[in-house]
Amino acid sequence: MQVRLGDSMLVVAGGGGISLGSDEPSLMACLMEPGAVADILDCQLEVALVLVEGIAERGIKAVFGGGDMADKNGPMYSPTVFRDLMLPRWKVLARQYRELGLHYVWRTDGNIWSVGDMIFDEADLPGFGEVDRDATMALGKLRDRFPELVVWMNVSVDLLHSGSRNEVYENRLEILEESCGRGYLHGASNAVLPNPPPKNFWAMMEALETYNAGRSREVAVGQL
């Protein structure tokens, strides 16, 4: 499909990642049977490596993966568990993505500051999606800590649904200013959930038009 569309649209594939279960037995297994969990993750990694080759062969350039692993209080498992079980395998997968020329977007809601350095510096994953502004993952803070990170969407879903039109518009302009005009695709952090006030959705898009109107076409912020 990407070959057919050319440069007119960007096709983003899903998958190509590894993940730990978020249920209690899976999390307990990380502490009580880490060897067994490692074996499962190795199997996931082998599947992901094959899948990513297929994605690249189809001309696709961007992949949404990762997986929900946090809430507003932080990750569901400790940074130590992430370093021991997840990071070594993500390094292998990230290297494969780079060699194939793919842009990988780590996707999760919640507060991931405690593992961000491992994901975006040590594993060197280039993109971050579903960026949860309501869980302190504000674009400006991310830009300061990870200057080259591409942030896919940072608009508060809650404000989009419950704020006034002016609140939405001003907040969206603030986010766009934080972007510094680069490495940011504008949109709701997770998704536009059912039944937001239409005026708030249009305010989000009008803020983008206002911001881009003052910038050259080459550095205009994208949208989703």
Give yes or no for residue 16 having a pLDDT over 90.
no
Structural domain 2-223, CATH architecture: Alpha-Beta Barrel (3.20)
Residues 6+ apart with CB under 8 A from 169: 203, 204, 206, 207
Residue 217 has pLDDT above 50, yes or no: no
State the pTM of this model. 0.88
The residue with greater pLDDT, 146 or 2, is 146
pLDDT score, position 221: 59
Residues whose CB is less than 8 angstroms from the CB of residue 91 and which lie 6 or more positions away in sequence, other chains included: 122, 123
pLDDT digits (tens, 9 = 90+) for 158-171: 999 999 999 999 99
**Domain segments of the chain as ranges:** 2-223
* Predicted pLDDT of residue 195: 83
